[in-house]
Each structure stands twice: as C-alpha cells, then as structure tokens.
Amino acid sequence: AQSVTQLGSHVSVSEGALVLLRCNYSSSVPPYLFWYVQYPNQGLQLLLKYTSAATLVKGINGFEAEFKKSETSFHLTKPSAHMSDAAEYFCAVSDLSAGTYKYIFGTGTRLKVLA
Amino acid sequence: DAMVIQNPRYQVTQFGKPVTLSCSQTLNHNVMYWYQQKSSQAPKLLFHYYDKDFNNEADTPDNFQSRRPNTSFCFLDIRSPGLGDAAMYLCATSRASGRVGELFFGEGSRLTVL
C-alpha cells in the first residue's frame, strides 16, 4: 500500500523567510503526489500535483514542490512566506483501487507565520 | 461557479440522535467521497461512490451509511452518533478517467455531539 509521511506537525517561519514542508512517500509504483492546503473550518484546496511529468511542479500562491525519486521525497517550498500562508498543509498520494483513485493523506503540517 | 456544496456547515446533535449530512456538486464528476477529519488529524476516507457503485472502507463503522440518489447528490447518514463521531465531515469529488485528477472538496460539515 502507498503512504506518505510528513515530518514536523508544526512549522514556524518568519514573514519573508523560506517555507519548507517535508513529505516522503512510500510506493511500489510511480506515484501521483499532491499538496493540499486547509484554512480553518474549510475544506482542502489543491496547491499542486505531480503526475510523472516535470519533476519540479509549480502551484498556486507561489508554492512549488520537487519530486526526488532517489530520496522518495516531495517537499513543498515557497521562497518568501506571507502571513496569509498560515494554514494546515497535507501531502497526499493516490492509489488505484477498484477502478477509482483513493487518496491517502499525511498527518498534516500546521504552518505558522510570525510577523 | 461549479463547486461542491455541503449542508449544513455546522450540525449539533444529541448522543444517539440520527444525523444526515448532504453534499451536492455541479461538476458532473463520477466519483464522490466522504472523509472524516478529527481535530489535527488527516482526513480519513469513509467510503466513496463511483457512479452508483458504493465502496466502503474496511474500517468504516456500520453506524455510517451513505446514499447517492443521483450524480449530483450524496448523503452521509450517521445512525446513532457517539461522542467519538464528533468531527469535520468532508465531501469531495473527482472525475474518473485514465489519468489521475485532483479532488474537489466542499467546505465541510462540522458535527458536534452532546
């Protein structure tokens, strides 16, 4: 079974600093990987996805992630944090089962941005 | 705008009193999912529909049921809510195709059990 592991349940950065949120995956086949963001009391919104095309994936709000097969990683970065980036971030992998894709989520990383 | 709409956004019920949460979508997606998300945890898949085909996760309690009367609507029924069922319930959709698409989420229904 495929899975993702997010290191660090809480990350704090200063406004303007680099954001780095870590995700490692476990998969026996080439994975499809996703990053979602969740603001308080809202559903999840897709930031970006990797589907075996370019290894560097650009998403919304200035985020990007790099797929590294040798490290089984898909870390999320943003060069300069903004106060509005404070939210919970989930890494996810998709797994084909019974003809449909099921999405397995990591435990999430809560990002705090300090003024 | 096409979207996924969940009602109600907030639901308070008493221990053991049945609850129904609804989800509607205007995306015409084949697949609809129900996730349970407890505080500071990852969303946990309860079940999903591929068109009319129902797929239950092995560890989803019998207390949770679902109905999908048509493409646009899906319901989550909790027959006898316990205190441990207090959570955010998220509905999501995706288009079933040969390629992996993204999940489109509603804003969630937060259930409180008294």
Q: What residues of A are in contact with residue B107 (Cβ under 8 Å)?
A: 41-43
Beta-carbon separation of A43 and B31 below 8 A: no
Q: b/e for B64-82, b at 16 or more Cβ within 10 A?
A: bbbebeebbebbbebeebe
Beta-carbon separation of B43 and A105 below 8 A: yes
Beta-carbon separation of B107 and A42 below 8 A: yes
Give the residue-averaged pLDDT of A41-45: 87
Residues 22-41 of A with CB under 8 A from B: 32, 34, 36, 41
CA distances from A23 to A26, A108, B15, B40 (A): 10, 9, 38, 17
Whether residue A29 is predicted with pLDDT greater than 80 in this model: the reply is no
Confidence at residue B97, expressed as pLDDT on a 0 to 100 scale:
63
E-only strand ranges, chain A: 3-7, 10-14, 19-26, 33-38, 44-50, 56-58, 64-68, 73-78, 87-97, 100-105, 109-114
Beta-carbon separation of B55 and A46 below 8 A: no
* pLDDT-flagged residues of chain B (< 70): 1-2, 97-100
User: Where is pLDDT greater, at A81 or B40?
Assistant: A81
